[in-house]
Amino acid sequence: MGHAGSINSIKVVSDGSFAMSVGTDKYIRIWDVRAKAHVCSIDGTAYTDMNEIAFAPQHSAESSDKTAGTQLAGLACVGHQDGSMTFWDLNMRKCLAQYMAHQSETRGVSFNVDGKYLASAGFDSQIVVTDTSDLENLVTVKTLQHEDKVVSVKWHPHLPLLLSTSADKTARIWYP
């Protein structure tokens, strides 16, 4: 079973065994890469279109999904068209929190190396760094500014720095 609309993002967990995709049909689709098969779908139709998905690194391949008989990543963040981000427990298949980070579309989301911070890219020209250590009390810790829409953001895999691209025709390295 595939998506019913456009697919906006697909990511592979760190061990390469699973991929997860999101799009305009508002479902998180989980794929077993080894078996080349769809594993399950998580209903996100209560939220706006899904633009991007990211996994919290400390949760990758930790818990077992008894239904599918496979290992799934535990926590993911999805950036939405309305500027919000939702945080999902992929094993329980439910949304744990929603956070309004941007005044316009959230186009990119990326967890830092230990999963404590999430950077989000918005069409409001901002990068928002959010402390995710307590999902019930999400807090913006830093806001970085581009001159135009921020299209993507990515934490460096080992260093405490961010990379971003923007419609202002720049790619930047940030030391937040």
Question: In the chain, how many domains are there?
Answer: 1
For 110-135, what is the mean pLDDT? 96
The whole-number pLDDT of residue 111 equals 96
Domain of residue 128, residue span: 51-64+73-174
Global pTM value: 0.90
Considering the domain boundaries, does residue 3 fall inside one?
no
For 123-146, what is the mean pLDDT? 97
The whole-number pLDDT of residue 103 equals 97
Considering the domain boundaries, does residue 19 fall inside one?
no
Does the structure show a pLDDT above 70 at 35?
yes
Summarised one tens digit per residue, pLDDT across range 48-105 is: 999 999 999 854 333 334 334 444 558 999 999 999 999 999 889 999 999 999 999 9
Considering the domain boundaries, does residue 143 fall inside one?
yes
Q: Please report, to the nearest 10 degrees, the dihedral formed by the alpha carbons of residues 88, 91, 93, 97 taken in order.
A: -20
Identify the residue whose tokens are 């967990």.
13
Confidence of residue 15 (pLDDT cuts 50, 70, 90): confident
Residue 43 half-sphere exposure toward CB, CA atoms < 13 A = 2
Give the number of residues written for the chain. Answer: 176
Considering the domain boundaries, does residue 56 fall inside one?
yes
Greater confidence (121 vs 14) lies with 121
- Domain of 128, CATH number, reads 2.130.10.10
* 8 A C-beta contact, residue 24 and residue 5: yes
Query: Can you read off the two tokens belonging to residue 26?
Result: 């508002």
